[in-house]
Amino acid sequence: MPLSMEIRGRSFPVDERPRPGRRPIRSPEPKPGLNQPPVHCEWNCEGAPIWAGQHRTRTTSSLPITVLLHAIGALVVHGCESVPVDGVCDHLRVHVVVVGAGVSGLSTARLLLAGGHEVTLVSGDPLRQTTSHLAAAVWFPTAAGPADAVARWSASAYEVLVRAAADGVPGVCMRESLVLYREEADVLPPLPSWAEAVGEVRLARPDELPPGYPHGLRFVVPLVEMPTYLPHLYDSVVHNGAQHVQRRLGALDQALDLRPDVVVNAAGLTAGALAGDNTTFPVRGQILRVVNPGLSLSVRDEHHPGGRAYVHPRTQDCILGGTLEVGVWDTTPDADETAAILKRCADIAPALAGAQLIESIVGLRPGRREIRLEVDESLLAVPVVHNYGHGGSGVTVGWGCAADAAALVDSLADASNE
């Protein structure tokens, strides 16, 4: 059946060239670091990891931001229609199986579809059970590395989400934000590394600070209400031609019966196990939903004496957090932690004193010492593009990582015809 794309009511055919043959199977080579046990880590207030060890820097060929913005034009402007993207469809079309239907898998699938590829989405859980669906999802680099790549991915995703908010994508808005600092300082601290992507960052006025805080930073970042945004993104992927197979995989080779030319591994916390990578680990996060007492400002204190504290107002509720517990698998909400979160969030947003609790939620962020975004040609009989280990930055880096993953698929498609 011919595939076509639409823009402003016109239909554009997509080249239906034959799929390229399978790439030669290469002898398996050991992947450095993949069989090393997880190491202890913590993250600083800018979201950059502090590790006992060295980073390995990877280079990928990302889509230019202008192409990325156009590639999601259908999602932003035209809902579930499709649009052609200049400079993206000039390569061979291949069949890509994307494993994972959280924000990383769906973003990657969306860009692959915009690039003219055939996409099959494979996931084991309904959307409501994904970690992405639970996320507070405010743009802010957290628990992810390496810092230089995270900064680049975050900047790309910031531009995409700003565009989405401006064009009315369901669930996306721009939120006035305040980061608080407790330290008394004669010299003002340097701006965080993420400030360049955000644009205007200013010192908070004294009347904008809660009691006990000598200074803070004000800025505006995207906030994504995942219960609204994630289904919209999923609908866009499916309406643009992706097939969805609901199947729980025990290993990536269990997707080979779908006859992919390339597999994208974006399965979140299970991605490492699917690829034989035991350096992934859970980062437990407990958050609360409370009735919004009328707040419109996101507030956070990454160094509250009682633990991390953040307040993110949404349309129907307010998200309070939270914990960042490396290596903890327990998904049962802790009553004492619930009380502690309520207390420290009332410290940074006094209007929350006595707030009505709706529910306490626990999610497991997909941790790894570095986000893994690379081609692996030793795992399966077809190339695998890994895109996982985003920690607490799934939304923050999502579209940026998706652009790199899609660019790697394009490169594989081109190379397969050489």
Q: Are 280 and 366 in contact (CB under 8 A)?
A: yes
Q: pTM (2 decimals)?
A: 0.81
CA dist., res. 193 & res. 234, Å (int)? 32
Tens digit of pLDDT at every position of the chain (418 positions): 333 333 223 332 323 323 333 333 233 343 334 443 343 344 433 343 333 332 222 334 455 555 566 555 544 433 433 333 444 455 689 999 999 999 999 999 999 999 999 999 999 988 877 877 778 889 998 888 898 999 999 999 999 999 999 999 999 999 999 999 988 766 666 787 788 889 899 999 999 999 999 999 999 999 999 999 999 999 999 999 999 999 999 999 999 999 999 999 999 999 999 999 999 999 999 999 999 999 999 999 999 999 999 999 999 999 999 999 999 999 999 999 999 999 999 999 999 999 999 999 999 999 999 999 999 999 999 999 999 999 989 999 999 999 999 999 999 998 876 6
Task: Output the pLDDT for position 39.
Answer: 37
Give the closest residue to 323 by CA, choosing from 337, 342, 312.
337
Contact predicate 269/110, CB 8 Å: no
The DSSP line for 59-76 is ---PPPHHHHHHHTHHHH
DSSP 74-118: HHHTSTT-----TTTSSS---EEEEE--SHHHHHHHHHHHHTT-E
Q: Which of 331, 330, 333 is nearest to 320 (CA)?
A: 333
Identify the pLDDT of residue 136: 81
Beta strand segments in 164-261, E: 172-181, 202-203, 215-224, 243-246
Cα distances (angstroms) measured from residue 60 to each of 81, 101, 383, 385, 389: 29, 23, 15, 11, 16
Task: Indicate the pairing of strand 262-265 with strand 384-388.
Answer: parallel
* Residues forming a β-bridge with 118: 95
pLDDT value for 275: 96
The owner of tokens 């409370």 is 290
Pairing of the two strands 95-99 and 49-51: unpaired
